Structure 1
């Protein structure tokens, strides 16, 4: 059999194409796997950080609740309400002042001053 020089035959061309396509496919798959691993590692790192942050927030909240409870426990009791001002029966007081004036104990100026103080 005589061998031709120059261009490869149909089988040689198909073999070369298969080798190139296989190599490209292998390289592409390896790159995709690498990207997926990096993305998965990054996702796991973010989840870990989020879990750590959540745990820190829960611990801070528990400490705040404990401090608030302790502060409430040792806080001074609330002051009792102030007694209500005694209600004054103005009519009765005016009658008493008038009786004192009529009895001569108070003069008109003292009666007017006491009446003004009572009505204010």
Structure 2
């Protein structure tokens, strides 16, 4: 063995093994972190797409409900061209009672929501 050379020959020393282990651990940690962030972004994107699709579907349902209500209102027989009905004992005409009943049916069928029903009823009674 030459005099100027120190240390072992062949296998790395304890410091070399520790350094190599630290590099491997750091690389694995960085890779795991990058994969975790990528999966998080992918999950967020998927959630946003689902929310957008749900909003679009709700808009279609709302439009269909409004159209059905309009069609049903148009298809309802108009009262005959008779003189205005006499007010009932409570101060409401028979025509207004019929319209209230029709509004109640639309509300029960789910065509009108609570706010639409209340608004139409207020207009009819007010």
Deviations 1:58-87 (A, max 9, x none): 011011111222222xx2537xxxxxxxxx
Greater relative CO, 1 or 2 (CA 8 Å, sep 6+) = 2
Deviations 1:22-80 (A, max 9, x none): 001111111111111111111111111111000100011011111222222xx2537xx
Higher relative helix content:
1
Runs of at least 5 residues in structure 2 that lack an aligned partner in the other structure: 81-126
Structure whose CA Rg is larger: 1
2:56 equivalent in structure 1: 52
1:77 equivalent in structure 2: 79
RMSD: 1.9
